[in-house]
A and B are shown apart, each in its own frame.
Chain A
Amino acid sequence: MSLLRLENVTKRFGGLLAVDNITAEISHGEMMAIVGPNGAGKTTLFNLINGVFFPDEGKIWFEDVDVTRYPAYRRAHLGIGRTFQIPRPFASATVRENIAIGAMFGAAGSEISVDQAMEMADRYIGLIGISSHRDKPAGGLTPIEKKMMEIARALAMKPRLLLMDEAMAGMNPKDIDWMVDFIKRIRGEEGIAIVCLVEHIMRAVAGLAERVLVMHQGAKLVDEPTKAALSDPRVIEVYLGVPPGEADA
């Protein structure tokens, strides 16, 4: 049984075909990368998966529950967590409160009290290593710290599927390496399936993802194991013949 299943999902904005008849599956604990140039419809696909938009056509199944018409918050309760390309912290709340909010209303939310949520928040703050900012308003963090905070907030939701939108964009190699094995670790410990959105197939991603779905102009170009995908001529063509190896950001 797959964790998430997309069936011929399509989304239009006026005339523009943002997501074009995409079918895909993600199984439990899987690690997948969705790749595509800017405007390929990656973020729209994310918004369809976690219910910010509803698709015009097609169906979305989460653990064989038809969630096509579920609002965002109900999908969160089912276990879909998410970070944003441009971080969206609750600016005037502290880092701790931000993460606690994730815990309070996420998948485990219903049985967690405010105090427990705060304790969970402290745990994830430790995990992600931003303890020094615990009681600062989240609005005051640096972009990287905000990304970290968002990941912690998403994890505190106890998701079974974590959607990470450009989690590593703008990071230096050192941070990226840290992030990569952090993600690996989390996935190991919590058994979360993780989908990363990236513009370029960076070495990091190549090392991380087991499967790559390449999007082009809203449509699915390839959906193959990483190795195969990287050598796929159509993919290389999309990236104007740039050999994937050197395509680092």
Chain B
Amino acid sequence: MKGASRYLPAIPVLLAYAALFGYGLIFPGQWQLVAQLAFYCALGQAFNLFMGMTGYVDFGYVAFLGIGTYGMAISISGLADKGLGLGVIVIGLILSVVFAVLLSLAVGAVALRLRGAYFAIATIGVNEGFRYLVEGARIWNGSEGIIFSRQLRDAVGQEAAMALSTFWADVMVFGVAVIATVLTIVYMRGKIGYALAALRMDEDAAKVMGINVTRFKIIAFITSAALAGALGATAWAVKLTYVFPADVFAIHYTVEAIIIVLLGGAGTLLGPIVGGLIYGVSKYYLAVYIPGFQLLVFAPVIIVVIVMFPEGTVGMIKRKCAGTAFAKYIL
């Protein structure tokens, strides 16, 4: 595993994204499905970067998407009449990431001192608390949220706004997914990857080995949060052009992220995209063929999967491929 060869596992993942992207372009009318899948994959990829590598379950993860959504919403609704054109999107993205990072610093300072279930519950607390602060103190219009289709149109024009919401937002989601993938493998193959692996397995021993666990945890936490912020800004703000706190701080998105990562294989590079595709596609066709019953079918399946294949799909493939030529492409 020397030099460039250690980055080979990124190839299958990036190819998969390319294939998904191409499929969306070639087959008319499949784009929104592709967009939804890309969202799930990106969500998993970003979530896995922290949760998969450290083993810490951030149940309040959705808060970072939420605040990212607000970042973009504020930029578009606030700067629409400044004649910045597409500039509002750029500013929005920056704002989203900054918001997410700031929030993650605050959360990290508090929650990362805790472990296991205490960490999970603390992060839930952060998400819910933040949401009620927004509603209770009437921040950003409180529960009325911000609806900004109009402002987006004013800012960039009718056609561009349409294209942004129905195509370019999704392209940006792909972008987030790819960045997340690259960062993941760079981390995994770098010192930080070994540090995180060590603290995941035995945090106290890791400290004794000279690993500044807090520092590495924070780095992974912030990276993951920043990606979430960008994801919120694109998949929720630019695409849907409105934001209500009750929607963007909804805990079921965290749960979806967990499901995706677990289906694919926590702490693996390939896992989130595999999990995201399995999850998205099956949800979609269940909704199409048995509307109203899909959850009743889906939930038991999840349980079966986590009982039968605790290491996830990719974990399994990894074991199967160990020692074969493919091994060096799977991580």
**Interface stretch (choices B13-21, B121-129, B189-197, B252-260):** B189-197
Q: Which of A90-98, A193-201, A204-212, A223-231 contacts B (4 or more CB under 8 A)?
A: A90-98
Asked whether any CB of chain B lies closer than 8 Å to the CB of A235, the reply is no
A52 to B202, CA, bound (A): 13
How far, in whole Å, are A77 and B210 apart by their CA atoms in the complex?
6
B208–A106 touching, CB < 8 Å: no
- B11: CB under 8 A from chain A? no
Q: With a CB–CB cut-off of 8 A, which chain A residues contact B195?
A: 101, 104-105
Given A92-B201, A114-B189, A114-B191, are A101 and B209 also a contact pair (CB < 8 Å)? yes
Chain A nearest Cβ from B212, distance in angstroms: 5
How far, in angstroms, from A118 to B189 measured CA to CA in the complex? 12
In B201-229, which residues have CB < 8 Å from any A CB? 201-202, 204-213
Whole-angstrom CA separation of A76 from B206 in the bound complex:
10
Q: Is the CB of A90 within 8 A of B210?
A: no
Residues of A close to B201: CB separation below 8 A: 90-93
Tell me, yes or no, whether A218 is within 8 Å of chain B by CB. no
A74 to B26, CA, bound (A): 56
Closest to B6 in A: A114
Q: A90-B198, A91-B201, A92-B201 are in contact. Are A52 and B208 (CB under 8 A)?
A: yes
Nearest CB on A from B7, distance (A): 12
Instruction: Tell me whether A102 and B209 are in contact (CB under 8 A).
Output: yes
Contacts of A84 in B (CB 8 A): 205
What is the CB-to-nearest-CB distance from A89 to chain B, in angstroms, rounded to a whole number? 8
- A26 vs B190: C-alpha distance when bound (angstroms): 36
Within 8 A of B (CB), among A29-51: 50-51
Q: In the complex, are the beta carbons of B210 and A157 less than 8 A apart? A: yes
- Which residue of the partner chain, among B189, B198, B207, contacts A71 with CB atoms under 8 Å? B207
| Contact between chains at B202 and A72 (CB < 8 Å) | no
**A100 to B189 Cα, complex, angstroms:** 13
Task: Tell me, yes or no, whether B113 is within 8 Å of chain A by CB.
Answer: no
- Chain B residue nearest to A157 (CB atoms) is B210
Closest to A90 in B: B201
How long is the Cα–Cα vector from A208 to B170 in the complex, in angstroms? 68
> Beta-carbon contacts of A145-163 to B below 8 Å, as 1s and 0s?
0000000010001000000
Chain A residues with CB under 8 Å of B189's CB are 114
Q: What is the number of residues of chain A that contact chain B, defined by CB distance less than 8 Å?
A: 30
Q: Which of B194, B197, B210 has the most CB of A within 10 A?
A: B210
Q: Please, which residues of chain A bring their CB within 8 A of the CB of B198?
A: 90, 93, 101
CB neighbours of A82 from chain B (8 A): 208
| A73 and B191 form a contact (CB under 8 A) | no
Q: Interface size of B by Cβ–Cβ distance < 8 Å?
A: 21
CB pair B194 A104 closer than 8 Å: yes
Judged by a CB distance under 8 angstroms, whether B2 is at the interface is yes
B210 touches A100 (CB 8 A): no
| Contact between chains at A90 and B213 (CB < 8 Å) | no
A119-138: CB near B (< 8 Å → 1, else 0) gives 00000000000000000000
How near does chain A come to B180, taking the closest CB pair, in angstroms? 21
What does the 1/0 interface line of A62-93 toward B look like (CB < 8 Å)? 00000000011110110000101000101111
Q: Which residues of chain B are within 8 angstroms of A101 by Cβ–Cβ distance? A: 194-195, 197-198, 206, 209, 211
Known: A101-B194, A104-B194. A88 touches B210 (CB 8 A): no
Q: Do residues A153 and B209 form an inter-chain contact, with CB atoms below 8 A? A: yes
Chain A residues within an 8 Å CB radius of B208 = 50, 52, 72-73, 76, 82
B211 touches A115 (CB 8 A): no
The yes or no answer to A164 lying at the interface (CB within 8 A) is: no
Shortest Cβ distance from B215 into A: residue: A73
Assess whether A58 is interfacial by the CB under 8 Å rule. no
Could you list 23 examples of A-B contacts with CB < 8 Å?
A52-B207, A71-B207, A72-B204, A73-B207, A73-B209, A73-B213, A74-B212, A76-B210, A82-B208, A90-B197, A90-B198, A90-B205, A93-B198, A97-B197, A102-B209, A102-B210, A104-B194, A104-B195, A105-B195, A114-B194, A118-B1, A157-B209, A157-B210
Known contacts A71-B212, A107-B210, then 15 further A-B pairs from the complex at CB < 8 Å, ordered by chain A residue = A52-B204, A72-B208, A73-B207, A76-B209, A76-B210, A88-B204, A101-B198, A101-B211, A102-B210, A104-B194, A104-B195, A105-B195, A105-B209, A114-B190, A118-B1
Minimum-distance CB pairs A-B, first 10: A76-B210, A105-B210, A72-B207, A88-B205, A90-B201, A105-B211, A73-B212, A106-B210, A73-B210, A73-B207
